[in-house]
Amino acid sequence: MRWEDRGQSPDVEDRRGARIGGGGLGRIGLGGFLLLAVLSIVFKQNFFALLDTGGGGGTDVPVASAPASPEEQKLVSFVSFVLDDVQATWAREFEAMGRSYERSRLVLFTDATRSGCGYAEGAMGPFYCPADQKVYIDLGFYQELKRRFGAPGDFAQAYVLAHEVGHHVQGLLGLETKLRSAQERNPGEANALSVRFELQADCLAGLWAHSTQQRDILEAGDVEEAMGAAAAVGDDRIQKQATGGVNPETWTHGSARQRTQWFNTGLQNGRIQSCDTFASGAAD
């Protein structure tokens, strides 16, 4: 991906080098995260709550830490560029719809932090919190993406961030509220609806990729990197890695095939209207 080093974005909230005060069991690693994810699905309980032993209290407090390496600083500049570019794209899209785009913020943290949605662990992976409209990521996740999930490349990293900002866009459009209402009305379809919601965020990430393609900042292999990342975090692959089996009824994000398909839909069409994953049969 062709990008410019513009330093740290004003929309980045840097909490690296801080440690959470009170609560938490420390970094559990990818294996522990996958185990908690499977248990939560099987028993329909939030086993991640076990990580928050501080009763919801606590603050992030700075501690002495080694200076960031040049490689990490470059990564901060890269995610800053991607964040600003993704949000500039959505500002144009919203303007075309006669609406104003409200910018999200990206929180960088180490190991654990507090979010508007509760305790956040680096091993949980990147996520968007609708309560405070912020994206959270421990930059160490990108090493996990490369080494454990086999999805290297800067555009793979960009896809992950664009997907999370896609959730912010869904919130601004009122789609997140509609999802929660639909899940409350149809609890038996909660997972299926969550799959459609996540696939829509993949499609919105593809819409941004379409914009980068139109502006000629994509390089050879970038699309393949994003597709590889989308496939690597498919529910079927994660479940097989964690348990050796696959159970589509418990998916929450979609299969590798579905995720790459919907990212490609956004990439090829570049229109929000093409991202209706809730249409009949759309997520099949």
Report which DSSP code applies to 187: G
Lowest mean pLDDT among 23-32, 214-223, 239-248, 266-275: 23-32
Note whether residue 5 is domain-resident: no
Note whether residue 281 is domain-resident: no
Note whether residue 6 is domain-resident: no
Note whether residue 47 is domain-resident: yes
Higher pLDDT, 24 or 98: 98
Identify the CA nearest to 15 among candidates 105, 124, 144: 105
Note whether residue 2 is domain-resident: no
Distance, CA of 79 to CA of 8 (rounded, Å): 9
Higher pLDDT, 19 or 89: 89
pLDDT of 123: 84
pLDDT of 241: 85
Instruction: Count the domains in the chain.
Output: 1
Structural domain that includes position 53: 12-275
Note whether residue 280 is domain-resident: no
**DSSP-assigned letters across all residues of 55-108:** TT---EEE---PPPPHHHHHHHHHHHHHHHHHHHHHHHHHHHTT-PPPPPEEEE
pLDDT of 22: 47
pLDDT of 284: 64
**DSSP-assigned letters across all residues of 21-59:** SS------HHHHHHHHHHHHHHHTS-GGGGG-TTTT---
Average pLDDT over residues 29-34: 55
Note whether residue 188 is domain-resident: yes
> How confident is residue 57, by pLDDT bands cut at 50, 70 and 90?
very low
Q: What is the mean pLDDT of the chain?
A: 87
Note whether residue 7 is domain-resident: no
Q: What share of the chain is helix, strand, coil (3-state, %, to 5)?
A: 55, 10, 35
